[in-house]
Amino acid sequence: MKIQQSFIEKKPTLYLVATPIGNLEELSPRAVAILNQVDVIAAEDTRHTKKLTQHFQIKTPLIAHHAHNTEQSIKGLLEILGSDKSIALVSDAGYPLISDPGQELVAAVSDAGYPVVPVSGSSAFLNALVSSGLRVQPFLFYGFLGSNVSIIRKELEALKTVSCTLVFYVSVHKLEKTLALCLDILGPRPAVLARELTKQYETFYRGTLAELVQFDQIENRGEFVLMITGMDKQEDDLDEIALLSQYERYIGQGMTRKDAITTLVKETGAKKNRIYSLIHGSKSE
């Protein structure tokens, strides 16, 4: 058992400082004070962070800590803490560790007995989520999906029955492909896409996955936050085999496909697109 009292302990400290996700004026006075007070700022990209420090006239030395130098960097940062100096960890934008470097460093610093202290600030997915209009609690922040289509398919299949709101980061280069896969696997659920948060061209696209796929005026710039409604718990409790069996009975009785689906919707309370998906899936197997 380890107990950390962040404002009482007088030890060399690793501060996790959230930086603005677009608008520099969102950096808090406390964050500015911490960045000035520490001995070193460990940055994901020192060139990017230098723009921030110059804007606020922060003179603290910058060193690199990123995915490609993690092991060596952690060793060096622990030596800095061991020499009675404190460190601020920053990513290019938003909170360190939220789809950005820092997880291994925090674990190593904590294991070594040094305090790890968060300094509040912007986070792209939280900004997007609270403004989305979708259910905020509970939610699942997944971060970036896999690197290729087969991995993304497996990940989305695993998330298909999750009932809370799903939140993803999506790069501009994968946006079109990701939206299409989400629609194919999750169905035409309500969804919101957010881009350029806190910047001049901040935009929210609210609709369904089907509408987002069909909409061809989404500006391909920057990174996106994609939020998708989770599976309705009532739907999750449905007996899919019984539902399909009842559908086949209705068809056998001479009902049209449309009438059979309409009847099932009334009887079970399932959403029409869920029944369509079940029928389509059973025919494709």
User: What predicted TM-score, i.e. pTM, was given to this entire model?
Assistant: 0.77
Give CA–CA dist 170/176, Å, rounded: 10
Give CA–CA dist 112/115, Å, rounded: 9
Q: What is the pLDDT of residue 234?
A: 57
Report whether 144 contacts 100 (CB < 8 A).
Answer: no
pLDDT, one tens digit per residue, over 104-153 is 999 999 999 999 999 998 899 999 999 999 999 999 999 999 989 999 99
β-bridge partners, 208: 190
pLDDT, one tens digit per residue, over 65-112 is 988 888 899 999 999 999 999 999 999 999 999 988 899 999 999 999
Q: What is the pLDDT of residue 274?
A: 73
Backbone angles phi, psi at 130, to 5 degrees: -70, -20
Based on the number of CB atoms within 10 Å of its own CB, is 179 exposed (0-12), middle (13-18) or buried (19 or more)? Answer: buried
How many angstroms separate the Cα of 123 from the Cα of each of 12, 43, 133, 180, 197? 26, 17, 17, 26, 10
Evaluate if residue 24 carries a pLDDT over 60.
Answer: yes
Give CA–CA dist 169/185, Å, rounded: 18
Q: Residue 27 carries which DSSP code?
A: S
CB atoms within 10 A of CB 87: 25
Give the residue from 268, 267, 265, 231 showing the smallest Cα distance to 276. Answer: 265
pLDDT, one tens digit per residue, over 159-193 is 998 989 999 999 999 999 999 999 999 988 899 99
pLDDT, one tens digit per residue, over 237-254 is 566 777 788 888 888 888
Q: What is the pLDDT of residue 137?
A: 92
Evaluate if residue 235 carries a pLDDT over 60.
Answer: no
